[in-house]
Amino acid sequence: MAADMGSGEPGGRRRHLAAVVLARGGSKGIPLKNIKRLAGKPLIAWVLRAALDSQGFDSVWVSTDNDEIEKVAKDFGAQVHRRSAEVSRDTSSSLETIQEFLQHHPEVDIVGNIQATSPCLHPSDLTKVVDMIRTHRYDSVFSVVRHHLFRWREVKAPGEATVPENLNPSRRPRRQDWRGELYENGSFYFATRELIVRGLLQGGKTAYYEMKPEHSIDIDIDLDWPIAEQRVKRFGYFGKSAPTVVKLLVCNIDGCLTDGRVYVNQEHEFISYSLRDLDGIRKLLERGVTVLLISERTISPSLISTLRLPCEVEANVANKREVLQKRMSEMGVSWNQAAYMGCSDSDVECLKLAATCGVPADASTSAKMTDSFACSQRGGFGAIQEFAEHIITLMETGR
C-alpha cells in the first residue's frame, strides 16, 4: 500500500506506519456521526480516501465497536480493528484506544491517528507528514492551523478587570502585519509506538504541520454539519481520478426543477421553479454541457413553452434509462461523461449508471442511498444550481 519513499531507518529496516481512524458507534452528539452522509459520502470516507490515496501508509485501519461502521470502512478500503468494550465507553480516551490497537498489532511501529471528523483533509498533507516522520526522523507530528485572534484573560469574579494576553492595545497590529498564532486543529496526530506506550501522543523530537485554514474543519455537533458540507464541496478532496468531463446533464423536472407539486384548476395546471436553477443551467450551457429536462408526466407543449426554459424538455418519459441511452448514443457520449440528477425511486437506475450524479435534499430514501452528491437545497429551491456548481467545480479542478 505504501509508496517506496526510502527507508530512512537505522540498519535499513522500514518501520511500519499505520493510519488509524477511531470511529466509535456511540457518539452522543450525533448518533453514528462517523458514517452520516456529508456531501454525498459517509463522513469517515473522506479521510479514508485521503489516507489511501496518499500511498504513504503501510496499512489503513478503522478502530470501531459498531457493525455498520465496520461495513462502511471495508467498503472504502480500510482494514478494521474491533475494539473492546473497555475502550468504547464515553469516558475512553483516544490514547487508550490506540494503546489497545498496538497491543493487537505488534508489527506497527508508528501510528498516524487521523480524525474521522476532519473531512477536508488532503493526501498531499499526509504525504508531507509521512516524509517528516520517515526522512527527518520526527517522533511525533501533529496538525495545526493559524489563527489571528486576540486573547484576553478570563474574568471570574464580578468587578475583576481583564488584561490582554497576546497583544498591546496601544499598538494593535493589522492582520497583515501579524503572523498570528498556531492552534491544534485535531486533524491528525502521528507518534511512535514508544511514545504511545509511555502514554504520550506528543513528545520526543516533535514537529507541527500547518494546514490551510480552508482545509481545517472539525465536526462536533449538528450545527457544524451545514458549514462542513459547504466547506467540503468547495475545498474537499474528491479523489485522484482524471479531470471530470461532463457533456450531458439529464435532470428530472418533477422534484428537482420543481418542488414536486402541481397546481390545477378546471382548465390549466401550474408549476413553479426557482430562477436560481435557471442560472445554474445557463452556466452549464455556457461551458458546452447539453442539458435535458425530463418528466414522467404528460406536460402540454403550451406549458413547456410558457416555462421559457433555456434547454430541451422531454415529457411523458416512461423509461428514463432508455431516453438517456438514446440521447448519449446520438451525441457519442458515454455514461462516464453523463451527469444525472434525480429525486425519486424511478431515478435510482440512472443515478447509479451516470458517473456524476446528484439528489436534492428532499429526495426519496432510495435515491439518497445511491452514491450521489447530496444537495443541501430542496427540489424547486436551488438544488439544480447547487448541483450545477458542483459539476463545474469537478470539471475545473479535476476533483
CA–CA distance from 385 to each of 3, 229, 270, 280, 284 (Å)? 40, 16, 22, 4, 10
How many residues in the chain? 399
**DSSP for 16-75?**
PEEEEEE--S--SSSTTGGGSEETTEEHHHHHHHHHHHHT--SEEEEEES-HHHHHHHHH
Mean pLDDT (whole number) for 298-304: 76
CA–CA distance from 226 to each of 33, 221, 368 (Å)? 14, 10, 17
**pLDDT tens per residue across span 10-35:** 556 799 999 999 999 876 667 788 99
pLDDT confidence of residue 81: 97
Q: Which of 82, 153, 172, 287 is catalytic?
A: 172
The model's confidence at residue 4, banded by pLDDT at 50, 70 and 90, is: very low
**pLDDT tens per residue across span 166-199:** 999 999 998 888 999 999 999 999 999 999 999 9
pLDDT confidence of residue 8: 45
Mean pLDDT (whole number) for 238-250: 76
The answer to whether the Cα torsion of 250, 254, 256, 257 is positive or negative is positive
CATH level 3 topology of 248-397: Rossmann fold (3.40.50)
3-state secondary structure of 384: helix
The model's confidence at residue 5, banded by pLDDT at 50, 70 and 90, is: very low
- Number of Cβ within 10 Å of residue 165's Cβ equals 10
Please answer whether residues 8 and 137 qualify as being in contact, where contact means their C-beta atoms are separated by less than 8 angstroms.
yes
Question: Picking from 104-113, 212-221, 310-319, which range would have the lowest pLDDT averaged per residue?
Answer: 212-221
CATH level 3 topology of 10-235: Spore Coat Polysaccharide Biosynthesis Protein SpsA; Chain A (3.90.550)
Mean pLDDT (whole number) for 143-150: 95
pLDDT confidence of residue 2: 44
Percent of the chain residues topping a pLDDT of 70: 92
Q: Where are the domains of the chain?
A: 10-235, 248-397
pLDDT confidence of residue 203: 97
Please answer whether residues 96 and 63 qualify as being in contact, where contact means their C-beta atoms are separated by less than 8 angstroms.
no
**DSSP for 144-204?**
EEEE----BPPP-STTPPP-BSS--GGGPPPGGG---EEEEEEEEEEEEHHHHHTT-SS-S
pLDDT confidence of residue 109: 97
Residue 105: HSE in the Cβ half-sphere, 13 Å Cα cutoff: 26
Question: Picking from 136-140, 180-184, 272-276, which range would have the lowest pLDDT averaged per residue?
Answer: 272-276
The interaxial angle of helices 383-397 and 275-286, nearest 10 deg, is 20
Question: Can you name the residues that pair with 64 across neighbouring β-strands?
Answer: 82
User: For residue 291, is pLDDT > 60?
Assistant: yes
In eight-state DSSP terms, residue 117 is: T
Question: Picking from 78-82, 237-241, 300-304, 381-385, which range would have the lowest pLDDT averaged per residue?
Answer: 237-241
Please give the single-letter amino acid code of residue 172. R
pLDDT confidence of residue 315: 86
Burial label for 314, CB within 10 Å (0-12, 13-18, 19+), is middle
Nearest residue to 312 (alpha-carbon basis) of 253, 229, 371, 241: 253
User: For residue 283, is pLDDT > 90?
Assistant: yes
The model's confidence at residue 399, banded by pLDDT at 50, 70 and 90, is: low
**pLDDT tens per residue across span 62-121:** 999 999 999 999 999 999 999 999 998 888 899 999 999 999 999 999 999 999 999 999
In eight-state DSSP terms, residue 376 is: S
**pLDDT tens per residue across span 364-381:** 988 888 768 888 899 999
Please answer whether residues 352 and 370 qualify as being in contact, where contact means their C-beta atoms are separated by less than 8 angstroms.
yes
User: For residue 309, is pLDDT > 70?
Assistant: yes
User: 311-317 long-range CB contacts below 8 Å, 24 or more apart?
Assistant: 311/281, 311/285, 313/253, 315/253
The model's confidence at residue 393, banded by pLDDT at 50, 70 and 90, is: confident
Dist. CA 226–CA 368, nearest whole Å? 17
pLDDT confidence of residue 27: 67
3-state secondary structure of 7: coil
What is the pTM for the complete model shown?
0.66
Asked about 172 being catalytic, the answer comes back as yes
